[in-house]
Amino acid sequence: MNNQELFRLFKDSKLAQVAKPLSKVLRGNQSGPTHQIIYTPKSSAIRSNFGIKTALPKQIGFSHIVYNDIDNATSMPDVEKYSGSFYNRIKFQEMNIPVRTEHNTNPLFKSEQTLTPKKAKDVNSSNEDSVSFGLNLKSSTPNKAVKKLLKKNSQFYNQYKEFMLKNYPDKLVSNGARNEHKLVHEFLNTSQDFKKAKSGLLSQKSNRIQGTGGFSYLQKGRLTNTPNGIKYAAMAPGRIIDSRDAAIGGFIASINDNNSLQRNYTKNFPGKHQRQFVIPFQVTDAEVSNSGKVRLEANGVQSGPWSSGLGENSSLYKPTNNNVRGASERMATDMKQFSALLSVLEQPAKA
C-alpha cells in the first residue's frame, strides 16, 4: 500500500471525519434515532443564531448542530456539529424499505394498550405483588437503571436474610421456598433502609418507541416504481467488516452465508484491506425494537462490476461464477451434476 492509497483510506475513514464529542449529554442515546438535530444552512446561519443566546462560529453554520442549553451562567452553551444520525436516517429512507416492529400494536388505532389510564396506579394494578412493583420499576426499565439501583443498596442481601430470620425462619432453612417473590415484596414494603427508585409524574411516562419513531413511514406491500421499471428489491452499498456482519448505510447488518464469494475475494486480494471494497447488498429486513435499536438483515448479490477495474491486479481472483447463490441452490446444482455423472458411468460400453 503506497502513500496515496493510505491517504485516501484515512480520508474516507471515521477518524478523519468524526470529531470527539464534547459530552454524551449533547448527542443523547446512540441506540435509537432522534429528531433533536437542528439544520443550519449557510443562508440561515448568517442572520440567525437558532435561539441560542450566544454568537455561533461561522464554521458551525454549514451543517447540523446539537446543544445542551439555550443559555447558561457563562453565556457559553456547549455546541458542536453532529449530523451522523441525521444522514443515516436519510440514507436509510432512500432505500425504500418498510420497517417492521415486533410485539407492538399500531398507535393510530384504538386499543387497550393505546388508551391512557385514569390513574397511575392502574398501570401496574395486575403486578402489585411483583418485585419490580416494590422497587418502583417497570418491565421496560433498562438494565443500566436496575444496576444503578442495586449499587445504592449493597446490603440488600444481608438485610433480607435478617428479615427472613426474624419473621420466617422455617422458610429460610428450607431450600427453594415457594412464592419467594412475595416475601421479597413484603420485605421491600416494610424495610425503611432500602432505597427505591424515585417515582413521580415524569417516571410514569413510557420510554418505549411509539411506532417506528420517525425512522421510516413506508408501508409494507407498497409498490415502488422507478424510471427503469418496478423495483423488487432494496440494493445498498456496504463494506464487509466480519464474517457475518456488514456496514450498510451507517448501520451494522447481519448477512447470510451466500456472500462467501465476495468475502473470499476481498479477504485474499493482494495489497488491499477487506474494508476497502464497497460491495452491493440486498437489504431484506429492517426492524425497530421498543428501545429504538435498528436491526438489518442483508444478502449477497451477483458480483457485477465491483470486482473489476481495481488497478493492475484487476485480472486476478476473478469469480468463477457471477451468480452468488444460496446453499440450497448450490446443493441442488451439485446434485444434478452428480446424477448426470452417475448416468454416464452406468451406461453399458458399446461392443
In 82-199 the beta strands, taken as DSSP E runs, fall at none
Average pLDDT, stretch 258-273?
75
Q: pLDDT grade, residue 25 (50/70/90)?
A: low
The pLDDT score that the predictor gives to residue 208 is 67
pLDDT digits (tens, 9 = 90+) for 124-168: 444 555 556 556 666 666 667 777 777 777 777 787 788 888 888
Q: Looking at the predicted structure, is the pLDDT value of residue 90 above 80? A: yes
Q: Cβ contacts of residue 37 below 8 Å, gap of 6+?
A: 64, 65, 66, 82, 83, 85, 86
pLDDT of 309 over the 50 cut = no
Q: Distance (Å, rounded) from C-alpha 175 to C-alpha 171?
A: 8
| pLDDT given for residue 18 in this prediction | 56
Q: What is the mean pLDDT of the chain?
A: 71
Q: What is the per-residue pLDDT for 124?
A: 44
Whether 246 shows a pLDDT value over 70: the answer reads yes
Per-residue model confidence (pLDDT) at position 203: 57
pLDDT, residue 121, reads 45
- Widest pairwise Cα distance in the chain: 105
Q: Higher-confidence residue: 203 or 251?
A: 251
Asked whether the predicted pLDDT for residue 123 surpasses 60, the reply is no
Q: pTM of this prediction? A: 0.53
Please determine, for residue 316, whether its predicted confidence score (pLDDT) is greater than 50: no
What whole-number percentage of the chain has pLDDT above 90?
A: 2
Min mean pLDDT across 63-72, 254-263, 281-290, 306-315 is at 306-315
The answer to whether residue 344 scores a pLDDT higher than 70 is no
pLDDT at 6: 80
- What per-residue confidence (pLDDT) applies to 149? 74
Q: Using one digit for the tens of pLDDT, what is the confidence trace for 271-298?
A: 888 888 888 888 988 988 877 788 899 9
Distance CA 218, CA 249 (A): 17
- Distance of CA 168 to CAs 13, 59, 177, 194, 313, Å? 63, 69, 10, 19, 78
| Alpha-carbon distances, residue 34 vs 104, 210, 292 (angstroms) | 20, 13, 9
| pLDDT for position 312 | 46
